[in-house]
């Protein structure tokens, strides 16, 4: 009887141990499944920074027409075995998909777009399929809309493209919301102000404006400036004269483009002495200039074909 009881006790013990092993096995299996699920669900595909697993307005960007964009495949939480890129042309007129084609040849980074849009009202949808190392497939979507570049216009609103040195010119631009004025490729003004003025332009300066709107930019046609130097004289000398007589002058080294018109003025440039004298030589003399005795200073004005010196 004692042996029978001991056998029952042993059998009960082994059954309890077996049940514990079964419970432990289930717990280990559940833990493995939990870890695997967390690993799998933590994996996500991205196109650049966009990780939509289905088409969404949050994964939609604009790029400028006639420009390209680099699209790169990313897989967070795992390694990429291979990728497939699909370029779909979407239509808001004739159904969701106008055409679809595989592009990129399996490259991680592609430069899009590949195929031209058939017209307005169409846009691109890029569908990325990633095959995961160890098994599994992930996908991401990105919509790309083409935006027309702005119409960059530049004109002179005050002044001319042919000026004298020191003359102010105002340029006006239109077509966007931001304007970057450049002279010879260097930025001189940037911001929302669509007017730019300068009185320090040089001969041959090339003025352009880059107009920005909706993330796109365009450059205007250039305006090339013709700037004439102000005429000058190397010397102007009065001759000796008697009190009350008019004065004689000799001048040398007139610069600029002749013929010239020269005249004599007071320092404020409000009173002219005598008249205008037309000369064709850069060196010469002027007679009988009626300058009153005791005049504190006389300014010699030179006007060449284009510019006066004051």
Return the minimum-mean-pLDDT range out of 17-31, 152-166, 209-223. 17-31
Residue 109 to residue 113: CA distance in whole angstroms? 12
Beta carbons of 82 and 106 less than 8 angstroms apart = yes
Give pLDDT, residue 78.
Answer: 95
What's the whole-number mean pLDDT along residues 155-166? 96
pLDDT band at 34 (very low <50, low <70, confident <90, very high): very low
pLDDT band at 31 (very low <50, low <70, confident <90, very high): very low
Q: Is the pLDDT of residue 266 over 70?
A: yes
Give pLDDT, residue 306.
Answer: 95
Give pLDDT, residue 37.
Answer: 40
Give pLDDT, residue 5.
Answer: 54
Give pLDDT, residue 13.
Answer: 52
b (16+ CB within 10 A) / e for 196-220:
bebeebeeebebbbbbbbeebbbeb
230 or 95, greater pLDDT = 230
Token couple for 7 = 């056998």
Give pLDDT, residue 38.
Answer: 39
Give pLDDT, residue 36.
Answer: 39
**CATH superfamily to which 153-228 belongs:** Immunoglobulins (2.60.40.10)
What's the whole-number mean pLDDT along residues 167-179? 97
Please state whether beta strands 60-64 and 137-147 pair in parallel, antiparallel, or not at all (unpaired).
parallel
Domain ranges of the chain: 44-147, 153-228, 235-303
What's the whole-number mean pLDDT along residues 51-55? 93
3-state secondary structure of 300: strand
3-state secondary structure of 14: helix
What's the whole-number mean pLDDT along residues 80-109? 90
Give pLDDT, residue 40.
Answer: 42
Give pLDDT, residue 39.
Answer: 41
Nearest in space to 232 (alpha carbons), one of 251, 207, 219: 251
Q: Is the pLDDT of residue 94 over 80?
A: no
Beta carbons of 307 and 227 less than 8 angstroms apart = no
Residue 74 to residue 69: CA distance in whole angstroms? 16
What's the whole-number mean pLDDT along residues 49-75? 94
The pLDDT mean for the chain works out to 88
Q: Is the pLDDT of residue 144 over 90?
A: yes
122 or 293, greater pLDDT = 122
pLDDT in tens, 250-261: 999 999 999 999
Taking the domain 44-147, which CATH number applies? 2.60.40.10
CA end-to-end distance (rounded Å), the chain: 138
Give pLDDT, residue 93.
Answer: 59
Give pLDDT, residue 250.
Answer: 97
Backbone torsion region of residue 181, taken as left when φ is above 0, otherwise alpha when ψ lies between -120 and 50, otherwise beta: beta
pTM value? 0.68
Give pLDDT, residue 120.
Answer: 85
42 or 310, greater pLDDT = 310
Give pLDDT, residue 130.
Answer: 98
pLDDT in tens, 203-221: 999 999 999 998 899 999 9
């Amino acid at each position: 009887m004692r042996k029978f009881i001991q056998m029952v006790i042993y059998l009960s013990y082994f059954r309890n141990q077996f049940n514990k092993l079964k419970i432990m096995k289930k717990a280990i299996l559940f833990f493995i499944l939990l870890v695997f699920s967390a690993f799998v669900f933590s994996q996500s595909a991205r196109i650049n920074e966009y990780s939509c697993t289905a088409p969404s307005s949050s994964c939609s960007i604009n790029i400028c027409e006639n420009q390209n964009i680099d699209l790169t495949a990313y897989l967070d939480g795992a390694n990429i075995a291979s990728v497939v890129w699909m370029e779909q042309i979407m239509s808001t007129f004739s159904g969701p998909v106008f055409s679809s084609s595989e592009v990129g040849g399996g490259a991680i980074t592609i430069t899009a777009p590949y195929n031209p849009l058939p017209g307005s009202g169409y846009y691109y949808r890029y569908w990325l399929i990633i095959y995961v190392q160890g098994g599994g497939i992930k996908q991401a979507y990105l919509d790309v809309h083409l935006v027309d570049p702005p119409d960059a216009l530049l004109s002179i609103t005050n002044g001319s493209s042919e000026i004298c040195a020191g003359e102010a010119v105002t340029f006006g631009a239109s077509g966007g919301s931001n304007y970057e004025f450049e002279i010879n490729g260097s930025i001189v003004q940037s911001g929302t102000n669509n007017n730019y003025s300068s009185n320090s332009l040089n001969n041959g300066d090339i003025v352009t404006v880059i107009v920005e709107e909706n993330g796109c930019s365009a450059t205007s046609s250039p305006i090339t400036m013709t700037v004439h130097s102000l005429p000058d004289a190397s010397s102007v000398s009065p001759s000796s004269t008697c009190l009350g007589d008019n004065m004689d002058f000799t001048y040398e080294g007139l610069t600029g483009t002749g013929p010239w018109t020269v005249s004599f003025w007071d320092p404020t440039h409000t009173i002219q002495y005598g008249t205008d004298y037309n000369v064709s030589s850069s060196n010469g003399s002027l007679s009988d200039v009626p300058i009153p005795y005791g005049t504190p200073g006389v300014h010699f004005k030179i006007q060449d074909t284009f510019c006066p010196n004051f």
